[in-house]
Structure 1
């Protein structure tokens, strides 16, 4: 399988998507539905787009974030925190009529997600007119990473703009419901990073009877160039027009899985920019995910080029392939 691409080795990444307040509750013991469960609750900056941008900044990748916050204390705090880590937040929209997005996640005592609820209505403010005003930012990017929290019309505009200027786009489906809005634009997508549930939604197939490879192949037939199916502790499945390969996850002590997919996407794009190789980039993504799940924080401050390099050096390609 060919795994090398021509990649811009300089420039900046534009990340488009959610920026919000994360509220995470982790149970001390087994969760019982319908009653209160003892546990620990933490509040931190979050949002798929924001998390990806933060991870890229930790990996010394120049990154601009396009998103929206409310004119409230929560939004100001999240934006200040995000900017302090090196993410350019100059182009984030401030709304006087909408509240900053909020995400609530319930984790079991093993750190696995049981349920989640997100209020991302503010991202409806990121309409086509907003992105037209950011055309100068978009057209000069080396990569665009976009999450599916955006209105469908905005996603279509971003993809059309990127295609016009030859900029590769990576789409993060975010959730089953939000993944559905991507179905009309599959032929314009360079990279997509669904989990199995999102892959089911995109293909109409059933993961219980159809393998990830088969479902991903359907996306390739629909025009997607590269499909990276995340499989949790089982690693990932990479699919392109030539075929599929599975890569094992990198062993790590799991504290909290929240944010693992976001860091995998960031690590993958970082790997593409640094190495220009799909296989090396995938291993960088898995290394970033391993670092992330070892921390209770959604974005692990220990994520760095040095730690990515250390983990990838310990993992030969033969050992990573399943």
Structure 2
């Protein structure tokens, strides 16, 4: 079984500071790093570092393109469906970290040029039971095309609607797993889930749209799963929070890895929570994502 990840690749430019500057103000930061990121690439690397067979579908540009590709290769992610477009820059994320929380400004760059042809080429090798993970840092129309095409092949589809953007109402019924966070839930449903009761109310909203399985991430409060068969509340593991940049990506990559190995939803959620807990205790994106043995050791403890 393979996991195909369709999405963004960005070079993350990260700096720490203790406040947001006022208009016209210059302040001093520290700990600057430039490291490969992007929700798509992060999720691909997250699953691969845990042991999954992963192919990345996406675009990079002239600036940082080879760095982003090489990071995937170093982490055993397949790159034959990665296109380099020399007329634009790769995607860029300028990230300011304040007390462990991040604020991000994106320039899509080459990510905006990912198109239907890239999907068609990648899915020539896909088979029933393979998994598609995708997000919304690329054109939502391309994402919707990929999800619908994946279901025609009988693939398992995972949509992480981040950052939240308008979607066609009919795409939800093609989502096997819909994995939003609290702010994304608010965007689509006008419900901000904070506990099991509000999470259930929100999950039912997405079920009514046609989603098969809803998995809501609740930050430090954990996660909540709902389907026709069961509902599960999972507490987050406590962690020394350093940088939350790739926490959600770690969770999704780990969850996909577990279901690709036929683990139960509860096992997958617990494993994903541990992967996210390790990630937020480290600085950076892909470099912060854990290996399988690290997650297993945390769960044993």
* TM-score of the alignment, normalized to the shorter chain, above 0.5: yes
Report if aligned partners of 2:108, 2:138 keep a CA contact under 8 Å in 1. no
> Aligned equivalents of 1:206 and 1:52: distance in 2?
24
For structure 2, the 5+ residue unaligned runs are: none
Match of 2:278 among 274, 285, 291: 291
Report if aligned partners of 1:49, 1:146 keep a CA contact under 8 Å in 2. yes
Are 1:112 and 2:138 an aligned pair?
no
Secondary structure of the residue aligned to 2:261 is: helix
Task: Compute the TM-score of the two structures, normalised by the length of structure 2.
Answer: 0.92
Where does 1:167-206 land on structure 2 (aligned, <5 Å)?
A: 167-176=155-164, 178=165, 180-181=166-167, 183-206=169-192
1:62 corresponds to:
53
Are 1:36 and 2:23 an aligned pair?
no
> Aligned equivalents of 2:150 and 2:142: distance in 1?
12
Are 1:49 and 2:29 an aligned pair?
no
Report the CA distance shift for 1:162/1:70 in structure 2 as closer, same or farther (over 3 A): same
1:94 corresponds to:
84
Shift, 1:294, TM fit: 0.8
Task: Compute the TM-score of the two structures, normalised by the length of structure 1.
Answer: 0.86
Secondary structure of the residue aligned to 1:157 is: helix
Shift, 1:156, TM fit: 2.5
1:236 corresponds to:
223
Shift, 1:170, TM fit: 0.5
Shift, 1:30, TM fit: 4.1
1:3 corresponds to:
none
Shift, 1:286, TM fit: 0.2
1:127 corresponds to:
115
Shift, 1:245, TM fit: 2.8
What RMSD, in angstroms, separates the aligned Cα atoms of the two structures? 2.1
Are 1:303 and 2:290 an aligned pair?
yes
* 1:16-55 Cα shifts (integer Å, max 9, x gaps): 100110011211x344533333222221001001011111
Deviation beyond 4 Å, 4+ runs, structure 1: 206-210
2:300 corresponds to:
313
1:147 corresponds to:
135
Report the CA distance shift for 1:208/1:238 in structure 2 as closer, same or farther (over 3 A): closer
